[in-house]
Structure 1
Amino acid sequence: MKIKRLVYSALIAAIYAALTYLIAPIAYGPIQFRISEIMVLLVLVDPFYIVGLTLGCFLANLLGPYGFMDITVGTLATFVAVVLMSGTIKIMKDSKFGIIVASLWPTVINGVFIGYMLYYVVQAPLLLTMFQVGVGEFVVVTVVGVPIYLYLKEKNIFKRLGYRV
């Protein structure tokens, strides 16, 4: 079972990095829609995927245009966001709003961390950049990702794969 989870985490990391790099023009910068961020909702299925998602972000940022700052700040932002998501869903697992609340962490964390990093690296306007990054995260994770997650959950896809969601 542990080997299966490790393989899934490695696949998640690879898919996250590949998706990010394939849509590079809109995955990096002050206005970004990193489609791979939908995958952060996988921590609601299994918190073990924090590792794969963090590694995937690290790999994607290795290939990105902002170098060391994005590798460290971007990876840290993803790690903090998915840890907070996992903790939120544990606390609010019986609430119908738990998934929505958990999905907001990437918006807040990436908006602040990446917004500040872009302000520092490319002298983008701080508050505007934080807002733009946050909006991109909100659209990808909450507006698009949550309905997909809920659909998969409703269709028992996660249970068929052996998860207790």
Structure 2
Amino acid sequence: MDNNKSMDVVSFAKMAIVTALYVVVTVALGSLGSGAIQFRLSEMFNFLAFYNKRYVYSVTIGCVIANWMVFGPVDAVVGSASTYVFVTLGVKLFSKFMNEHLFGGVINKAFLYFSIFFAISMFTIALELHILYGLPFFATWFTTAMGEFISLIIGSVVIEALGRRIDLTK
């Protein structure tokens, strides 16, 4: 078998696994991961894009599927478009900090900056919830941003620890 083809299959399989994990973790948390107050632990998989850009597609597709299952087609479009744009942009902005750590090596500086950036990006979800359900925009932005930030900080520690044991770049 051609080595390049096997690498393509391996890459595709890794992407499929991450996509499936995103969906399973999101759906397993149910309403806790959607709506005005979100604790979406599956967002930890966003950090995999810092190791390999292919995971931008994995988390975006996972977001499409999970959002469709939990909240419907509008959230599948808005949420996944937001995920794609802000994960891609966040990786471009903060990758240069990947080798810097805070708090005795516990928090990756790139991951912290990304977590703040991505939490701020929740204005897109707050706007969606405001338009569709009449939820107050600023209060919803605050609650979704805080839930996102907490989820990402927890996830950053998990992915950073995993990245120390497994080469996530391959």
Q: Once the 2 structures are TM-superposed, how far is the Cα of residue 146 of structure 1 from its aligned partner?
A: 1.8
Mapped pair 1:157 → 2:165 = yes
- Name the residue aligned to 1:131: 142
Separation in 1 of the partners of 2:162 and 2:19?
A: 21
Identity value in percent: 25
- Name the residue aligned to 2:152: 141
- Name the residue aligned to 1:15: 21
Q: Once the 2 structures are TM-superposed, how far is the Cα of residue 108 of structure 1 from its aligned partner?
A: 1.5
Return the letter of the residue paired with 2:97.
Answer: M
Q: Once the 2 structures are TM-superposed, how far is the Cα of residue 89 of structure 1 from its aligned partner?
A: 3.3
Mapped pair 1:59 → 2:65 = yes
Separation in 1 of the partners of 2:160 and 2:17?
A: 22
TM-score normalised over the length of structure 2: 0.84
Return the letter of the residue paired with 1:157.
Answer: R
4+ residue runs over 4 A deviation: none
Other structure's SS at 2:70 match: coil
Q: Once the 2 structures are TM-superposed, how far is the Cα of residue 3 of structure 1 from its aligned partner?
A: 1.6
TM-score normalised over the length of structure 1: 0.87
Q: Once the 2 structures are TM-superposed, how far is the Cα of residue 8 of structure 1 from its aligned partner?
A: 0.8
Task: Tell me the alpha carbon deviations over residues 65-113 of structure 1, each in whole angstroms, 9 at most, x when there is no partner.
Answer: 3x2320111111111121022212333345442231123232121x211
- Name the residue aligned to 1:89: 94
Return the letter of the residue paired with 1:34.
Answer: R
**1:16-55 mapped onto 2 (5 Å cutoff):** 16-55=22-61
Separation in 2 of the partners of 1:94 and 1:152?
A: 15
Mapped pair 1:102 → 2:114 = yes
Structure index of larger Rg: 2
Task: Tell me the alpha carbon deviations over residues 135-165 of structure 1, each in whole angstroms, 9 at most, x when there is no partner.
Answer: 00000002x1122233233xx3233x6x37x
Separation in 1 of the partners of 2:112 and 2:34?
A: 25
Other structure's SS at 1:63 match: helix
What runs of 5+ residues in structure 2 fail to find an aligned partner? 1-6, 102-108
Q: Once the 2 structures are TM-superposed, how far is the Cα of residue 25 of structure 1 from its aligned partner?
A: 1.8
